[in-house]
Amino acid sequence: MPKTYEGALLAEGLRFAIVASRFNDLITQRLLSGALDTLTRHGAAEDAIEVVWVPGAFEVPLAAQQLAASGRYEAVICLGAIIRGATPHFDYVASECAKGIAQASLSTGRPVIFGIVTADSIEQALERAGANPPGGETMKIGLIGDTHGDLSAWEKAVAGPFRGADMILHAGDILYHGPKNPMVPGYAPAALAEAINRSPAPVILVRGNCDSDVDQLVLDSPIQAPYALVQVEGLRVLVNHGDGLTREEMIAQAQRYRATVFVSGHTHIPGVERVGDVILANPGSPALPKGAPPRPTVAVIEDGAARLIDLASGQTLQEVALT
C-alpha cells in the first residue's frame, strides 16, 4: 500500500481569512456566501473567519499575501469576478491576479485559494458562481450501511461521494464486525464512532442486528430506533436495517408513510431500483461487500436522483430518478 496524504473535510478549530473584491459584487457576494456556508458546514466557527474587502481583483494578491504571511490563518480564500470587456484590460487584471495569488501561496507556504471567476459575460459569471445551479438547490443526502467498524470505509465515503452532503443516513450495523463476518481491514470501532460523532453533516443512525446497547455509549446520535423517517425538502425517506423484512414489506412500509425512498442494508448486496412509486435503495457495504462482483459501495441522493456509487472507483453503478 502506498503511503497516501490527503486532506479531511474538517474545519473545526481552524481560522480562515477571505479576501473578497468589491468589483462585480453581484457575483462576489454570492461567492462569499458560498464560501462561508461551506466553511461553517465543515465545522469552522463563524468567529474564526475574517473577511477583508478590496477594491478589485488586481488588489487581491497584496491582501492575500499579508494575511497569509501573518501566520494567523490555516488558509486564505480569494474571491473575485473578472468579466471580459471590449478592451484588453481583462487580460492584465486576470493574469496579475492569478500570478499574485500563486506567489502569495508559494512565498508564505500557506494555502491561498484561487476563487476568482473569469468569465466572458455577467450571465456566465453568475452561472459559475452557482447562482443558477441546474435542477435547483436540492440537498445532498449520503446513504451508507453495514460499516461494521471499518473506519477507512467511512473516511473514504466522507472524503468522496459524501463530500458536501447535508445529511448522512446510516442503515445500521455500524461499529461491530459481527460474529459471522471476518474482521474488516480498517476495523477501528472506537475511532469510527468518533468520526461519526465529528461528522460535519448530521448523521442519522438506525439500529442493525449487530448493534447493541453498549455501542450507544460511544455514539452521540441515538441508534436505538429501528426506523428513521426523514423529510428533506419535498422528499420523504424511510430507513430500516432491513433484517426480517421482505421486499414487499419494505414497499408496503414506504407506502404507509408515503416515503419515496426506502433505505435498507443488512444483505451487503447493493441496489437502487424503482418499484412502482417507491425506490428501494440498499447502499450495500463499504466494509464487507457481497454481490457479483463484490464492490464497496455507498449511495447518494442529489440533483433529483438516487445513485449507487463504487467507493473504489468513484463510478456511478446505478441511477434512478426520484420522480
DSSP 187: B
Query: Radius of gyration of the chain from Cα atoms?
Result: 23
Of the pair 58, 154, the CB lying nearest ligand INI is at 58
Instruction: With beta carbons less than 8 A apart as the criterion, state whether 276 and 247 touch.
Output: no
Of the pair 86, 217, the CB lying nearest ligand INI is at 86
CA–CA separation, 37 vs 155, rounded Å? 22
Instruction: With beta carbons less than 8 A apart as the criterion, state whether 116 and 80 touch.
Output: yes
DSSP 113: E
Instruction: With beta carbons less than 8 A apart as the criterion, state whether 228 and 221 touch.
Output: no
Segment holding 81, helix H or strand E: strand 75-83
Min dist CB 113 to ligand INI, Å, is 16
DSSP 182: P
CA–CA separation, 97 vs 205, rounded Å? 46
Min dist CB 95 to ligand INI, Å, is 12
Of the pair 31, 144, the CB lying nearest ligand INI is at 31
Min dist CB 52 to ligand INI, Å, is 14
First-to-final CA distance of the chain: 43
Of the pair 91, 220, the CB lying nearest ligand INI is at 91
Of the pair 89, 258, the CB lying nearest ligand INI is at 89
Of the pair 100, 161, the CB lying nearest ligand INI is at 100
Give the residues lining the site for ligand INI (CB under 6 A). 21, 23-24, 55-59, 80-83, 85, 89-90, 93
> Of these residues, 42, 89, 177, 268, which one is catalytic?
89
Min dist CB 119 to ligand INI, Å, is 9
Whether residue 266 lies in the annotated active site: no
Q: Which residues contact 123 (CB under 8 A, 6 or more apart)?
A: none
Min dist CB 104 to ligand INI, Å, is 16
Min dist CB 27 to ligand INI, Å, is 9
CA–CA separation, 106 vs 66, rounded Å? 13
In the three-class reduction of DSSP (H, G, I as helix; E, B as strand; rest coil), residue 9 is classed as: coil
Q: Nearest-CB residue to ligand INI? A: 56
Q: Which residues contact 60 (CB under 8 A, 6 or more apart)?
A: 19, 21, 54, 78, 80, 97, 100, 101, 116
Residues tagged active-site:
89
